[in-house]
Amino acid sequence: MSPPDVSLDGWQDAQIPPETPLPFCPERSVGLSLPLPISARLDLLVALAEQAGERTSRKEVVAACILGAPDGAEELVRWLRVYRRSPADSVYTSGSRLEDLELRPARPGPRTRPWRHRPPPAPA
């Protein structure tokens, strides 16, 4: 079965060389609103990457998740159903609990990151 024919709204006209790293490709805003526990988990994933010495952002983590999403319809549908049935307290990573998540609305704009104010840790 071939992938569905999806319009990429002008992507073909962008003339992106195939070897261009994804972070350097033209962008298109997707305007998402996420459930607060999912948004908090996204913040936890950013913090997890930063604890490992990787500078990243919510946008980059979402993009990486989309890139790593399953290509097959059955697997994608399975993950959609898992999401739809999951309770709010299922979002925590190991060592964290729902009470630990910041569930207050975030202000618009980039999140403050500690590494933006100090040099990154030296590689091990």
Render pLDDT for 96-124 as a digit per residue (tens, 0 to 9): 554 554 555 556 666 665 555 555 555 55
Higher pLDDT, 112 or 72: 72
**DSSP state at residue 120:** P
C-alpha to C-alpha distances, 21 to 17, 43, 63, nearest whole angstrom: 9, 24, 13
Burial 3-14 (b: 16+ CB within 10 A, else e): eeeeeeeeeeee
Tell the residue number behind the tokens 């964290």, with chain if given.
96
What global pTM score does this model have? Answer: 0.68
52: left (phi over 0), alpha (psi -120 to 50) or beta: alpha
Q: Which of 6-15, 28-37, 94-103 is predicted with the least confidence, judged by mean pLDDT?
A: 94-103
Residue 59, pLDDT > 60, answer yes
Q: Which residues contact 103 (CB under 8 A, 6 or more apart)?
A: 36, 37, 40
Q: What is the mean pLDDT of the chain?
A: 79
Higher pLDDT, 69 or 108: 69
With a pLDDT cut of 70, the percent of the chain lying above it is 63
Q: Which of 11-20, 22-31, 101-110 is predicted with the least confidence, judged by mean pLDDT?
A: 101-110
Residue 91's CB is within 10 A of a number of other CB atoms, namely 19
**DSSP state at residue 19:** T
Angle value at C-alpha 20, between 68 and 122, nearest 5 degrees: 70
Q: Please give the pLDDT value at position 112.
A: 63
Q: Is 18 exposed, middle or buried (0-12, 13-18, 19+ CB in 10 A)?
A: exposed
